[in-house]
Amino acid sequence: MSHSTHSAPAVSDVTVWYLEQTSPADLSPAAAPADGVTVARAEIPLPEFSRFLYTAVGGDVRWTDRLGLTYAQWQEIVERPAAETWVAYENGTPAGFIELDAQEDGAVEIAYFGLIPAFRGRRIGGHLLSYGVARAWDLAERHPERTPTARVWLHTCSNDGPHAMDNYLRRGFRLFDTRTEQEPDVANPGPWPGAHA
């Protein structure tokens, strides 16, 4: 009789930083990028589009938490009350996105933010973050049932892109907590196998 042993997946320590703004005056906007870049809200909740953005932006920075979700679970995410996705386009092509999650007590979380790799390093990220944070601050104007925004917060981690933390600090976010967590080691998950091998 043979016994098969399954080893546990390898894990790594990941540093997670939590940042916040507590006033609209905290936002320090980035300069606008070159002509041809626009930002628009994805007003029709569409799981296919949200999953495309998530995998295209997060594939090389180990975004894995939503990869196993069903269509119905994605639909539940995109249809949350006062959840908003704002998409940056360059000449009509999606370049990145910022997802806002309205929470209780006037808090708005930047749940996801990032650029598709081909668009990084071209001054689009600072502009998209500035625009998205401004929309977090005025979110209650589009959703009158919500408490006016009193705090905008996010978390980032040591797996994120090398310029992420600097971008957040330049936009006026302040660090309020740091934690170390263990995450499983995974190969770059997408947008398709081997995309950034």
Give me the pLDDT at residue 155, please.
93
Q: What is the mean pLDDT of residues 44-58?
A: 94
152-171: per-residue pLDDT in tens? 999 998 777 777 888 999 99
Contact between 76 and 120 (Cβ < 8 Å): no
Report DSSP letters for 10-35, one per residue: PEEEEEEEEEEE-SGGG--PPPP-ST
Contact between 154 and 173 (Cβ < 8 Å): yes
Give me the pLDDT at residue 65, please.
86
Structural domain tally of the chain? 1
At 44, which CATH number? 3.40.630.30
| Amino acid at site 57 | V
Stated pTM of the model: 0.87
Residues 6 or more apart whose Cβ sits within 8 Å of residue 120: 161, 163
Q: What is the mean pLDDT of residues 54-61?
A: 88
Contact between 196 and 187 (Cβ < 8 Å): no
Residues 6 or more apart whose Cβ sits within 8 Å of residue 169: 19
Residue 38 counted as domain residue = yes
Range of 1-5, 95-99, 189-193 with top mean pLDDT: 95-99
Distance CA 33, CA 57 (A): 19
What the block records as the tokens of 117 is: 């790799």
Note down the domain range covering 135.
12-184
pLDDT for residue 124 is more than 50: yes
Binned at pLDDT 50, 70 and 90, residue 111 comes out as: very high
Distance CA 100, CA 81 (A): 11
Give me the pLDDT at residue 8, please.
59
Lowest mean pLDDT among 113-117, 168-172, 189-193: 189-193
Binned at pLDDT 50, 70 and 90, residue 195 comes out as: very low
Residue 98 counted as domain residue = yes
Lowest mean pLDDT among 7-11, 109-113, 122-126: 7-11
Give the three-class secondary structure for 109. strand
Residue 194 counted as domain residue = no
Counting residues of the chain whose pLDDT is more than 70, the rounded percentage is 88
Partners of residue 40 on adjacent β-strands = 87
Give me the pLDDT at residue 4, please.
45
Contact between 85 and 53 (Cβ < 8 Å): yes
Residue 19 counted as domain residue = yes
φ and ψ at residue 18, rounded to 5 degrees: -110, 130
Lowest mean pLDDT among 137-141, 144-148, 152-156, 164-168: 164-168
Give me the pLDDT at residue 67, please.
87
Residue 1 counted as domain residue = no
Residue 191 counted as domain residue = no
Q: What is the mean pLDDT of residues 1-8?
A: 50
